[in-house]
């Protein structure tokens, strides 16, 4: 099947039953997307499909043929960070880091549709992304800071 991941079209020899998560991680070796439960409960596998946050563990890869998929590897680069990544670092909005890619992509989807989110908007948008280290207060601050940084950008 042909998938467009982070702007790059790729032909992947995957079965029709395979999830987007399995294809991303196992076949394309993009391991930034994490598997925490594989049943749509924890949010660690969150990616963007056409700009919307989705659990890749509940998404069939075959259904994404006509879509643009963004994983954490496509959000920003180490030398050109996305404002969200910058804000997560500055606010220390991560501890073990395992849920972080999913949190970042859920937040990116929020800011794309709501450039001026309230703190409650952030809580709703990230409510499907568990963080067992309990970094939640700093996640709210980081997303608010990133939204402000992005509004200030020309």
Partner 1 sequence: MSAKRFVTTQVEVEGRVETKIVEMPSRSPEPWGDDADLHVVGLRAQRMDALEKVTGQARYTADVQLAGMLHAVVLRSPIARGQVTEIDFTAALALAGVSDVLTLGDVPGIRRDGVQLFDQRIHYAGQPLAAICAESADVAHRALGLVRMTYESEAPVSTPAQALATDAPKVKPNGNTPRNMPKVSKRGDVHAGLAAADVTITREYRTPVALHTAMEPHGAVAEWVGEQVTVYESTQGIFNTRADLAAEFKLPLSHVRVIKNYMGGGFGAKNGASTAAAIAVALSRKLERPVRCIWDREGEQLDAGNRPATIQRVTLGAKRDGTLTAIQLDATIPLGIGGWQGGPGKFYHEMYACENVETRETFVYMNTSAMSSFRAPGHTEGAFGLECALDALAHELHMDPLALRVHNHAARDQVQDRPYSLKRLRECYAQGAEQFGWEAHRASCAKQSSSSRLRRGVGVASQIWSAGGGPPAYATVRINPDGTIEVLTGAQDLGTGARTVFAQVAAETLGAKLGDCRTVLGDTERLPFASNSWGSITTASVAPAVRVAAEEARERLFEAASGMLGVEPDQLESRDSLITVLGEEKSLTFAQVGRKLGDVMIIGQGSRGPNPEKTAISAFAAQFAEVEVDVDTGRVRVLRIVSAHDSGRILNPTLAESQLEGGIIQGVGYALFEERVLDERLGLPMNPTSHDYKVPTIGDVPVIEAFFVAGSDVVANHVGVKGVAEPPIIPTAPAIANAVRCALGVECLEIPLTPWRVLGALQSS
Instruction: Using CB under 8 A, list all residues that contact partner 1.
Output: 15, 18, 22, 25-26, 29-39, 41-42, 44, 71-73, 75-78, 81, 85, 88-90, 92, 94-101, 104, 122-124, 126-127, 129-140
32 CB contacts (<8 Å, ≥6 apart)? 71, 72, 73, 101
Contact 10, 23 (CB under 8 A): no
Q: Are 44 and 132 in contact (CB under 8 A)?
A: no
Q: Closest approach of Cβ 129 to partner 1, in Å?
A: 7
Task: Pick the closest to residue 5 from 60, 45, 61, 55 (CA basis).
Answer: 61
Phi, psi of 11 (to 5 degrees): -90, 125
Nearer to partner 1, 31 or 114 (CB): 31
N-to-C CA span, the chain: 38
**Shortest reach from residue 11's CB to partner 1, in Å:** 18
**In terms of CB distance, is 74 or 154 closer to partner 1?**
74
**Residue 124: CB minimum distance to partner 1, A:** 8
Q: How far is the CB of 126 from partner 1 (least distance, A)?
A: 5
Q: How far is the CB of 122 from partner 1 (least distance, A)?
A: 8
**Residue closer to partner 1 (CB basis): 3 or 154:** 3
What string of DSSP letters covers 51-76? TEEEEGGGSBGGGGTTSEEE-HHHH-
Distance between CA atoms of residues 126 and 42, nearest Å = 11
Query: By C-beta, is 66 or 83 nearer to partner 1?
Result: 83
Specify the residue, 34 or 49, whose C-beta has the smaller distance to partner 1.
Answer: 34
């Amino acid at each position: 099947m042909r998938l467009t991941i982070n702007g790059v079209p790729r032909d992947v020899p995957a079965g029709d039953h395979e999830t987007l998560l399995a294809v991303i991680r196992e076949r394309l070796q993009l391991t930034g997307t994490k598997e925490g439960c594989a049943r749509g409960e924890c949010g660690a596998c969150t990616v963007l499909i056409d700009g919307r946050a989705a659990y890749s563990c509940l998404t069939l890869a075959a259904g994404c043929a006509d879509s643009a998929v963004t994983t954490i590897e496509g959000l920003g680069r180490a030398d050109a960070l996305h404002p969200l990544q910058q804000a997560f670092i500055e606010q220390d909005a991560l501890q073990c880091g395992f849920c972080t890619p999913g949190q970042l992509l859920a937040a990116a989807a929020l800011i794309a549709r709501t450039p001026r989110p309230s703190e409650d908007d952030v809580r709703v948008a990230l409510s499907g992304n568990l963080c067992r280290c309990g970094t939640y207060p700093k996640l709210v601050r980081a997303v608010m800071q990133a939204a402000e940084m992005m509004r200030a950008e020309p």
